Amino acid sequence: MFTSPKRYQKLANIHMMDRGDRLLLLEGPKVCISVGMKVVIPEVPLRALSAVSKTAHKHFTKRPNYYELNLPFGSVDKKALEHVIHWLKDVCSTANTYVIPHGRTFTQNVLIYKVCRVLGINSNIGHILNAIRDEITTRLLEYKEIHAIVTNLTPSDPVFIHLAHNLTHKRYLKEIPDPECFQAYLSEHPELEKLMAEIHAKNMARYQRLKVKEAADAREEEWLEWRRTAKWRPTSVTACDVEPKTAVSNIGVVRSIPVENA
């Protein structure tokens, strides 16, 4: 591989390339993608894969004579991987580019999203990420859907974090219909349970700070209202209060005036 500079392909945004340039990505050497040392997808155009995948680009740049990209066992779903590679081959030959198609189900979207994360195809998954987040927000997921996230993504992943925030909020509002079963599920998945506990603690601390601020604001408003409506006024200096050798100037400021001797 990469015995000629013409075969090297830098990372590129294929959506900014015209069809002629994208067709060139299909030319040249082919590689295979393996999962756990078992070939899953053969005959993948090297240049096309290296153009969109940071993982592949880094791997084949360091190992120019390799013809295989081996992913860890269990790191990706086979059908989801096939879905992404099919899109890659097709988008390089179509008149117009298009984004990676959504899966038919929520779980399929999670698995497609994971493949893209593993391959480092981050610039082409914003729409899938948004679709996953929207479903997490708008409805209560089934346990198998929650499980798809918890078992496929890390606690630092945006989807995992969004799920933890949403479940924490729903549990606080008592919107989870089976709290005992849910707690039992959390006990089996300590990473999710820990993250939810941290989010809850931060939310409560923020809520307490807000309550303290609201109470202080209310006291200040009450005092200002009393100032506006009270009959009390600051004591003013009048001419009657001035000593014989002083008088009030025409601008209302008390100043000493010398008295001439008669």
How confident is the model at residue 247, as a pLDDT?
44
User: Does the pLDDT at position 241 exceed 80?
Assistant: no
- The pLDDT of 25-44, averaged and rounded, is 95
Amino acid identity of residue 167, one-letter, is: L
- The pLDDT of 212-219, averaged and rounded, is 82
| pTM of the complete model beyond 0.85 | no
Name the nearest CA neighbour of 108 among 137, 77, 133: 77
Tens of pLDDT, residues 154-164? 999 999 999 99
More confident residue, 114 or 241: 114
Phi first, then psi, for residue 164 (nearest 5°) are -60, -45
Contact (CB, 8 A) for 203 and 196? no
How confident is the model at residue 227, as a pLDDT?
80
Select the highest-mean-pLDDT range: 48-62, 203-217, 235-249: 48-62
Assigned token pair, 175: 């919107």
Name the nearest CA neighbour of 128 among 146, 141, 110: 110
More confident residue, 240 or 175: 175
Of the given ranges (64-68, 74-78, 229-233), which has the lowest mean pLDDT? 229-233
User: Does the pLDDT at position 250 exceed 90?
Assistant: no
Tens of pLDDT, residues 130-154? 999 999 999 999 999 999 999 999 9
Confidence of residue 252 (pLDDT cuts 50, 70, 90): very low
CB proximity list for 19: less than 8 A, separation 6 or greater: 93, 94, 95
